[in-house]
Amino acid sequence: MEILNLEGTEDTPKIILDKKNGIFEISGRSLPEDSAEFYRPVLEWIEAYGGESNPSTDFVFKLEYFNTASSKLILDVLSALEDIKGMKILWYFHEDDEDMEEAGQEFSELVEIPFEFKTY
């Protein structure tokens, strides 16, 4: 399976999806002009991964900020991950960032995937 590696910018998160090395991470700031277009390759990659996933997958979210449009796409990503066996979400947030912690809590209530909350 191809590695999906998108370099982060001021407005888009860094995304690494690497089945072979077990790296699944979305980090940084997410406010792309067209969220649906930006996240399309991520959703396509996850769909393909679902057919041949690793026995367990720790998917890391380490977002500093995301806009409303991105929040819908993040939920789409989480929903796509829901069907993959052995999936766990690691939701990282700065220890003084209550908004990002709350966002993770809200996402965790919307999908049937175990979440682990970590500060950094």
* Domains of the chain: residue spans and CATH: 4-119 (3.30.750)
pLDDT, tens digit (0-9, with 9 covering 90-100), for 32-82 = 999 999 999 999 999 999 999 999 999 999 999 999 999 999 999 999 999
pTM score, whole prediction: 0.97
For residue 89, which of 73, 113, 62 has the smallest C-alpha distance?
A: 113
d(CA 80, CA 97): 26
What does the alpha-carbon distance between residue 19 and residue 75 come to, in Å, rounded to a whole number?
21
Residues 6+ apart with CB under 8 A from 96: none
Mean pLDDT, range 10-15, rounded to an integer: 98
Q: Nearest to residue 87, comparing CAs of 46, 34, 43?
A: 46
The proportion of the chain whose per-residue pLDDT surpasses 70, expressed as a percent, equals 100
pLDDT for 16 equals 98
